[in-house]
A and B are shown apart, each in its own frame.
Chain A
Amino acid sequence: MSKKNVIFKLGLVAMLLVSLVIFLAMNSNEEFIVEDNPHGMREEIVNLNSRCPPGFKLNDLNQCKAQNLYMQYDSPNGMGVGGLQTGLPEIRDGFTPQEIDLGRYLFFDPVLSGNGDMSCGSCHDPALGFSDGQATSIGNDSLKLKRGAPSLWNVAFLKKLFWDGRAATLEEQMQGPLFSHEEMNNTPDKLLTTLNGIKEYKRLFLQAFPAKEETENIELPEVYQSLAAFQASLISLNSKYDRYAHGFHDALNQKEKEGMNVFRSFVARCAECHTPPLFTNQQFAIIGTPEPNGLPLDPGAEVPQKDKTLRGAFKIPSLRNIEKTAPYMHSGNFKTLRETVEFYTKGRGHAVPEGENLLIHWHIWEPELSGYELDRLVDFLKTLTDETFTPKIPQTVPSGLEPSIKPISI
């Protein structure tokens, strides 16, 4: 007892000492983290974070390199698809901590939109799985768009972006919403003029891109790079499922395990396309889901690929954090996971509009899943939730505008 006491006291003293040292050594360059903001005062962005977000290690080149437990495993043919202990697909990493942090401010700053009222975060809200809870997103001027906002979790692993897979890089992808009249309604010129008119941003871009001359203007590639850096830092690989996959079999309860076995069985065939460890094989699939009432069939990848055989094809989405991103499918026709999994057992092509001849994917068949099995599938899908690495939403953004997303209080 007394021994423990001594240790405890020593530890306490040591901790006090350390805190003192840290306090003294605290680099005034670091971002000043305001824990709460009782007086409504603006958070001062002193400097960009020089640390990598969780899931990344800083290397000697000031780059954040991904680190996760899946790096223990090989991946067959380097594709990042397989079973429980399979390596992930190649990740887009190597951004600097400053780029990532600048991207975080940009991401939540409505100044990026033409009207100054939408940020990336408006449709990719951390509280909603980096989606927006809408069947289809709301764009500029309250316009109802045609597709739902995909989650951004683990987007660094994806080789196809947008539901119809028309972009191969985040840089290419973001120009879609930024400069679409229906979405953020900005133009490249206007965006640059705006950003270059904000002293805070000029200063922060200099920090993120130290090779720049002080007199140089902010350039579009720097904006893209920063936003890509932030989005690529959104890693979710520590779910209950992952604990099971790494060998802790008590991480899932009996019902969840049953659900996992339905998921990977060749009756339901979920895992054939939503293949672990990312829960997507990153291919296109035509599954013939219904559009919400009144909407015509979305031709999907047929348009960008200019290929009629891909009519109605969409990118197979990852299922990580799927619990958080209702409603489901490209136009949000299904409100719940239960409705979504039920779609797959209602008959091959049952919802294809008359007159359409879609080349429905061969894995869509008549698995005759029972209600019990559908419930278990939902149980399993909920084990793919992990938001432990959710980044902080800035309380204030460099433009001084009201952030369109409020910070979550943890």
Chain B
Amino acid sequence: MKSTLSKIIVAVALLVIGVFVGKSFFSSNASEAVPIPSGLTYRNVGHTADAGKAISPRAFEGQIIEVKNGGSIQEAVESASPGDLIRVYPGTYSENVYIDKSDISLQGVVINGDWPTLDGKKEINDAFLYSGDGILIENFKIVNYKGNAIMGQSGNNFVIRNNWIIDTGVYGIFPQHGKNGLIEHNVLSVIADAAIYVGMCDNVDVLHNEVFDNVAGIEIENSRHCLVENNYTHNNTGGILAFVTPGLPIKTTFDVIIRNNFVVDNNHVNFGAPGSTVAGIPKGTGILIMAADEVIVENNIITGNDNSGITIVDLANGDPKANDPNVEGNPDRLVILDNIMYNNGNETSGELKAIMLTQLDTKGPDIFAFGGGVGSTIRDKNKYRTFGLGDYGAAQISNTKDVVTMMTPEPVAPRFVSKEQLGELTYYGVCAGCHAFGTRLIGVPTEFIQMIHKDNPQGIVDYINAPKNLREDYPEMPPQNYLSEEAKMAVAEYILAYDAGLE
């Protein structure tokens, strides 16, 4: 009780500070008074705990870079340093923005209903590509790309929210190989595969999004510890999917909660690309669980899905692909808790239609399970029209209220590398191609460097940046100025501290 109270007080205090900071920064122009990204300290308090702590541990202290109509977001990214905020004003930006830095926030500023709009004109592949940690992307309208609206390749601690995404090709929002992220309050439509696709990730919350007119609404694929909550998924071919795709390097999906979502009327004709996994999803699929384990389905409103409300299937039946001996293809230990389900299965198709006909039934079930799998349970089986749930026992839990988020309690920290380690990695990983102690390789023996630059690491750094050939009998060293400032100094100190006598 006390801690909740103090959290609220802290949250309110932060909000006040945020407003104050915002006002003092932008008091001259009311239209610019958009709060700095707070990392959610003001949002979902008491509901999803303090999710902001998991994304950004510190207050904003970077530079603000503004991009106005006619400007380039990518140029702003290139000039930004970790910690900076790029604010993009209304206008049309036809760009591919790529962010290979960490801790960069991109914030659209919507004024009078005018959005900063990234328009791919069906010529550009992706609106945003990122690989850094701590990336925040919010308040953008993104339309007409060929590949993705927002795609991450690695990158932990991401926030993607409040974006309005229409017809951006294969995926809308697609973080891949990331840990600890939040995808919320986005609206996505007309995506040819999954609107929100969490691929090979861990600890991701997908909250409060609206996804419609897509092939797949929300897809949790080869990912663990994900919460899909409070989303409105309607008129997709399939609403919410949790599955394992074989042949990927990360082989499992488990510990997924699908909770408090509207999964209604997902009856869109399937327009997925031939050969894609989702191309095989029958229209009218509410929730699909394929080969994923430990998925809990709770308190969803699942209605009007013409094939079936929840489809549970193994890989052998669900997705005929090349086998992967390292993938276990059965959905195991699923838990179906209370859900509101009615009016599903009105127009079955494909395999389900054939199966239902053998039951002398033309209507599909609320819950359809087919193929292997063990240990699954359901809370009140008699409530629903089901098929294939014969071996489902009674659920051992009644709710998941203790799980408020799947995000990590703190941001995922980058690996700690000491200065000495960095020096050592740089020395052996780069310098050792030409330098060694006690022998001549291409460059001088390392002890020569020690002698020349004794007690003067900066001398080595200067030489690394701009070598001046000191010796006629050696080839000139190419500059190694691509090394980071930290690596240059670390390796300089490492070389000077190295005791060759120990070798």
Interface residues of A (CB under 8 A from B): 11, 14-15, 18, 22, 30, 51, 54-58, 67-69, 71-74, 76-77, 79, 81-87, 237-238, 243-251, 257, 261-262, 264-268, 271, 275-276, 281-286, 305, 307, 309-310, 313, 348, 359-362, 364-366, 388-389, 410
List residues of chain A with CB within 8 A of the CB of B101.
247
Residue count of chain B within 8 Å CB distance of chain A? 74
Partner of A71, one of B125, B425, B481: B425
Main secondary structure on chain A at its contact with chain B?
A: loop
Complex CA distance for A11 and B449, rounded to whole angstroms: 10
List residues of chain A with CB within 8 A of the CB of B436.
51, 54
Given A72-B415, A266-B125, answer yes or no on A360-B275 (Cβ-Cβ < 8 Å): yes
Residue B146 CB within 8 A of the other chain: yes
Q: Is the CB–CB distance between A246 and B484 below 8 Å?
A: yes
Q: Is the CB–CB distance between B429 and A55 below 8 Å?
A: yes
Q: Is the CB–CB distance between B451 and A72 below 8 Å?
A: no
Q: Is the CB–CB distance between A267 and B247 below 8 Å?
A: no
List residues of chain A with CB within 8 A of the CB of B245.
362
Q: Is the CB–CB distance between A267 and B438 below 8 Å?
A: no
One of B24-32, B150-158, B347-355 at the interface? B150-158
Q: Is the CB–CB distance between B98 and A74 below 8 Å?
A: no
Q: Is the CB–CB distance between A86 and B433 below 8 Å?
A: no
Q: Is the CB–CB distance between B249 and A275 below 8 Å?
A: yes
Q: Is the CB–CB distance between B415 and A310 below 8 Å?
A: no
Complex CA distance for A114 and B414, rounded to whole angstroms: 52
Complex CA distance for A262 and B125, rounded to whole angstroms: 8
Q: Is the CB–CB distance between A389 and B451 below 8 Å?
A: no
One of B107-115, B168-176, B234-242 at the interface? B168-176
5 contacts between A and B (CB under 8 A): A11-B451, A11-B452, A15-B448, A18-B447, A56-B432
Known: A14-B451, A83-B177, A284-B324. 16 other contacts (CB 8 A): A18-B447, A22-B447, A51-B436, A56-B428, A67-B427, A73-B415, A76-B202, A83-B154, A85-B132, A86-B177, A249-B78, A267-B147, A267-B170, A283-B249, A348-B275, A365-B273
Give B100-128 as 1s and 0s: 1 = Cβ < 8 Å from A's Cβ atoms.
11000000000000000000000001100
Partner of B425, one of A58, A68, A248, A362: A68
Report the number of A-B residue pairs with Cβ-Cβ less than 8 Å. Answer: 196
List residues of chain B with CB within 8 A of the CB of A364.
275
Give B247-287 as 1s and 0s: 1 = Cβ < 8 Å from A's Cβ atoms.
11110000000000000000000000111110000000000
Least Cβ–Cβ distance between A276 and chain B, in angstroms: 8
One of B14-22, B33-41, B53-61, B315-323 at the interface? B315-323
Q: Is the CB–CB distance between A22 and B445 below 8 Å?
A: yes
List residues of chain B with CB within 8 A of the CB of A276.
153
Residue B129 CB within 8 A of the other chain: yes
Q: Is the CB–CB distance between B428 and A54 below 8 Å?
A: yes
Q: Is the CB–CB distance between B170 and A266 below 8 Å?
A: yes
Complex CA distance for A309 and B319, rounded to whole angstroms: 12
Given A67-B424, A248-B482, answer yes or no on A261-B129 (Cβ-Cβ < 8 Å): yes
List residues of chain A with CB within 8 A of the CB of B389.
none
Least Cβ–Cβ distance between B441 and chain A, in angstroms: 8
Least Cβ–Cβ distance between B420 and chain A, in angstroms: 12
Q: Is the CB–CB distance between B322 and A313 below 8 Å?
A: yes
Partner of A359, one of B200, B322, B448, B451: B322
Q: Is the CB–CB distance between B322 and A265 below 8 Å?
A: no
Specify the chain B residue showing the minimal Cβ separation from A313. B322
Complex CA distance for A288 and B2, rounded to whole angstroms: 63
Least Cβ–Cβ distance between B322 and chain A, in angstroms: 5
Q: Is the CB–CB distance between B321 and A359 below 8 Å?
A: yes
Complex CA distance for A286 and B275, rounded to whole angstroms: 12
Q: Is the CB–CB distance between A362 and B428 below 8 Å?
A: no
List residues of chain A with CB within 8 A of the CB of B482.
243, 246, 248, 250-251
Q: Is the CB–CB distance between B451 and A18 below 8 Å?
A: yes
Q: Which 8 A-B pairs have the closest CB atoms?
A: A83-B154, A67-B428, A82-B154, A83-B131, A248-B482, A68-B429, A265-B125, A83-B153
Complex CA distance for A389 and B247, rounded to whole angstroms: 32
Residue B403 CB within 8 A of the other chain: no
List residues of chain B with CB within 8 A of the CB of A275.
249
Tell me the chain B residues, 422-471 only, with Cβ under 8 Å from chain A.
422, 424-430, 432-434, 436, 438-439, 441-442, 445, 447-448, 451-452, 470
List residues of chain A with CB within 8 A of the CB of B178.
76
Complex CA distance for A51 and B179, rounded to whole angstroms: 39
Partner of B484, one of A81, A238, A248: A248
Partner of B428, one of A55, A257, A284, A286: A55
List residues of chain B with CB within 8 A of the CB of A359.
320-322
Complex CA distance for A30 and B440, rounded to whole angstroms: 12
Specify the chain A residue showing the minimal Cβ separation from B245. A362
Partner of B154, one of A76, A281, A283, A310: A76
Complex CA distance for A22 and B202, rounded to whole angstroms: 54
Residue B96 CB within 8 A of the other chain: yes
**Looking at B247, B321, B424, which has the most chain A CB atoms within 10 Å of its CB?**
B247
Residue B483 CB within 8 A of the other chain: yes
List residues of chain B with CB within 8 A of the CB of A267.
125-126, 146-147, 169-170
List residues of chain B with CB within 8 A of the CB of A262.
125
Partner of B439, one of A18, A51, A247: A51
Residue B148 CB within 8 A of the other chain: yes
Specify the chain B residue showing the minimal Cβ separation from A390. B433
Complex CA distance for A305 and B447, rounded to whole angstroms: 53
Q: Is the CB–CB distance between A238 and B429 below 8 Å?
A: yes
Specify the chain B residue showing the minimal Cβ separation from A89. B249
